[in-house]
Structure formats: structure tokens, C-alpha cells
Amino acid sequence: MAKMKIRLKVKEAEVVKALKDWAKLHPEVQLYRFHVGGVPTGKGSYRPHEHKGAADFFLQIFYMGMPLIAFYECKGSDGKLSDSQEAFRESVTAAGGYYFIIQSIQDAEDALETIKQETRRKVPTGFGGHSERSSQPAGTGNTQRDILGSNADRLLDAQVRVAQSS
């Protein structure tokens, strides 16, 4: 017997609201809303926003003692990316960044898990005194930068290159 897949119609506004509620359940996630609609000129018209196509949300995720950045674009069940949104997604992913299209809470959970899995793969567990469970915000005295001091960026880059070549 063939499996039937049922897909509910969901509006983008419902996805946005659900994502905001979801973020409240994840203390390691800071969620920032981007509003990139036109900017009123005061003359009854709008000038385009300089970041046209930017994702709906910018996330800062504290994981393994590091702040990680991701972009979430919310879409309803029938939503598709515009050309400017495609261009923004391409610029983020070409630079190695995280960009996800979110149509449900499950998409948000899956995206967060992908980020965590990739981070675990890239950063050696135990490096800088961190474990997978360490997810404190910066400035708590427990981040790699706090531990390594002023040469943190150079040392972290070298450690990641060594780990990747292994």
C-alpha cells in the first residue's frame, strides 16, 4: 500500500510566530528579526532596504563555548525564495555560513542540530577545556578566546587547520 503524505497549509506569519516561541525553549539561541521591507521616504513612496533579500532571522547560537551565526528564512507551506533572497542565501553559503529555510518547528530543530553536528565535527572535543555540553555565552571566562588571550584568533585558526588535516 502506498504511503500518503498529508501537508497542511501554513502561512508564513504562523511560521514566524512559532519560530519566536521555539527560540524561547532554547536558551543557547538568541534570535534577531530582520525587517528588510522598503523604508518610507516621507513622500508616499519607499526606498529599497540596503539588505534586500536578507533572511527573516539572524541567530546567534552559543555552543561548545563559541558563538555561532546562522540565518533562518521563514516560508509558508507554499513559499519560495525571491531572486534577492536566493542571492543572499548564495552569499551566506558561499562564505561557509549557515542558511536554512524554515517552514516548521521541525525544520528549526533539524537546522540547529545540523549546526551542532558540523561544529562537533570541525572543533576537537575538549579543545580549550570545552565539551559538547559547554554552551555558555562569551565573556563568562569559559570561551576559547578567554582562555587563549590576545592571540586567540591565530591560535584557534592553527588548531582548526591541524584538526582538519588529521
pTM given for the model = 0.69
Instruction: Assess whether pLDDT exceeds 60 at residue 124.
Output: yes
Correct CATH for 12-36+46-165 of 3.40.50.970, 2.40.110.10, 3.50.50.60, 3.40.1350.10: 3.40.1350.10
CA geometry: angle 106, 110, 116, nearest 5 deg: 145
Interval 26-43: pLDDT, tens? 999 999 998 767 677 888
pLDDT of residue 1: 64
pLDDT of residue 125: 63
Domain boundaries, the chain: 12-36+46-165
pLDDT of residue 159: 52
Query: What average pLDDT does the segment 42-62 reach?
Result: 86
